[in-house]
Amino acid sequence: MKQYYAFLKVIERGSFTKAAAELGYTQSAISQMIQALEEEMGTTLIYRSRKGITLTPDGEEFLPFITRVANSHAELIEKAKEMQGLANGHIRIGTFTSVSSNWLPSLMQDFKHLYPSVQFHLQQGEYTSIVKYIKEGSVDFGFVNPDAAEDLETVVLKQDNMVAILPENHPLANDSTVTLEDLAKEPFILLEEGELNEPLNAFKKKGLHPNIQYRVIDDYTIMSMVESGLGVSILSEMVMKKVRYRFVIKEVDPPIIRTIGIAYKNKKTLPIASRYFIDFIIRKLS
């Protein structure tokens, strides 16, 4: 391919000498490359004169084809470099329980079918700590509520309904929905989500102060506590899948909706594997 690049550079610069200097060859080497290309094409491509160089009629005909071949080769080399990066890729993700237990297993499995050598590292947290992980560089990107990701680039993925969970024998268990006023009177088990907490914001908008008896960072621990009758809580509807705890799930009035997205500092500077996985997640979930 060297003679293709040499030919295009000679045409671009209008000089064998300038092309040689830019490509790092001697003028003699560039001349030999052009001669080899002309022998390959079976014709003369360039007129040489004291006034400079010009393309022959055959050179004009071959120019667009040589350009396409050279560009395709450059793209092929770039793709090979990207694939090499993916082969050695290590993807570091900040995440919380509902995402890591519901979305990520199938997403990682499907991605590894495409790129088997990619490795994953999941760092659990809540909104505030995940944003911190991203900013300090201990993860490449993270799942958060975009409202919690100040000074980061974000992409919204889904909106998730939040529901109340109550012990099976709770007085409100037979109601079709429960209100925030009802829940504020009960021993409340709060899922810690950092500085931004959707249920607390909902209570605040209604001028209510829930009776928080427990603060917990794990959804499944809260489910076990509700099952044991220690209190009530509000959790993501998404995390309710595949659980075997015994409790009652109720819609909340008014509804509480949380937004889930991806956050990162600068996508252009992320490792190739992480950039590919972000694009893969967006295609799968959006």
The verdict on domain 2-86 having CATH code 1.10.10.10 is: yes
CA 63 to chain centroid, in Å, comes to: 40
N-term to C-term CA, the chain = 42
Which among 265, 259, 235 is positioned nearest to 165, based on CA atoms? 235
Which among 42, 36, 76, 33 is positioned nearest to 61, based on CA atoms? 42
The verdict on domain 159-257 having CATH code 3.40.190.10 is: yes
pLDDT digits (tens, 9 = 90+) for 93-152: 999 999 999 999 999 999 999 888 899 999 999 999 999 999 999 999 999 999 999 899
Q: Whole-angstrom Cα distance, residue 158 to residue 98?
A: 13
| Cis? peptide before 171, omega within 30° of 0 | no
Question: For the structural domain made of 90-157+260-285, what CATH number should be given?
Answer: 3.40.190.10
Strand-strand pairing, 153-166 and 248-253: antiparallel
- Residue limits of CATH 3.40.190.10 in the chain: 90-157+260-285, 159-257
Please state the pTM of the whole predicted model: 0.71
- Residue limits of CATH 1.10.10.10 in the chain: 2-86
pLDDT digits (tens, 9 = 90+) for 115-126: 888 999 999 999
